[in-house]
Structure 1
Amino acid sequence: MKKYIELTILSIFIVGILSGFQKSNVLPVSSEYSQMTPPSFFVQSKTKGSNVFVECILTGISFRQTEQKDRKVGKLVIWLDGKRTKEVNSAAFIIKGLPPGRHEVKLEVLDLNNQPYGLTNEFLVNIPK
């Protein structure tokens, strides 16, 4: 019985030591972190009727134009079938009233002076007849 207790304690000790060598997944939550990592841009879309619901995940750039001293500020430009259609200042929006057929949607992230950040995302949507 004493041998099993010693073996259990030794096993717990070894597991504790080995788990200490795993890489930590904790990231700093400061403005320094947002300046260290390059911005990233992910888009998810859903078509319903003639409307396209778009959600964007944009790291490193904010759409808020006030109180952003340590962060980059930007906006999204929507291109539809190669033509610039409108600008939005939010991460979620709806493209309304598209005609039936296939459409190419391009989203481009610009700063407030219309200079590109180099972040774009393109996707196709099919509006049924």
Structure 2
Amino acid sequence: MKKMMVCLFLFVLLTGCRHKLPEPESLIAEASDHSKSPQIMDIRYVVEGRNVKVECIIAGVSFVNGKEQGKVLLYVDGQQYGEYDTAAFVVKNLAPGTHRLKIDVVKQNNKSFGINHQFMVTIK
């Protein structure tokens, strides 16, 4: 009798959930627009004393011989500071205070690629 009750209990337990399975409670994450639009220019900089080390990573522009060879025009506080044919450079001897640096990426003939970036640095 005990065996029969245990078998009946297991039978009901195992067959009872077959007809209506519960819906999974997982969430579906949607992709954000941020990952769809690639970043054209990434600027990294470090302030060391009165100098600023700048590194530019620019998609589709090369600083060595090539079809899309470019250069960087650097402006400090609205005044042209320098012209660089490399992706990394050092801005030297800035006066203490806050400065606005603007980077324009241009072709070798100074025609714009339409790529620029501005950022602020504070020299202590």
User: Structure 1-normalised TM-score?
Assistant: 0.64
Give identity over the alignment, percent: 37
Could you tell me which residue of structure 2 aligns to residue 44 of structure 1? 44
- Distance apart, 1:79 and its partner CA: 0.3
| CA-atom RMSD in angstroms | 1.4
User: Quick check: which has more Rg, 1 or 2?
Assistant: 2
SS in 2 for 1:99: coil
Matches within 5 A, 1:1-129: 40-64=40-64, 66=65, 68=66, 71-128=67-124
**Structure 1 residues not aligned, in runs of 5+:** 1-37
Query: Does the 8 A contact of 1:39 with 1:60 survive in 2?
Result: no
More helix by share: 1
Query: Does the 8 A contact of 1:79 with 1:106 survive in 2?
Result: yes
* Amino acid corresponding to residue 117 of structure 2 in structure 1: N
What is the number of residues matched between the two proteins? 87
Runs of 4+ off more than 4 Å:
none
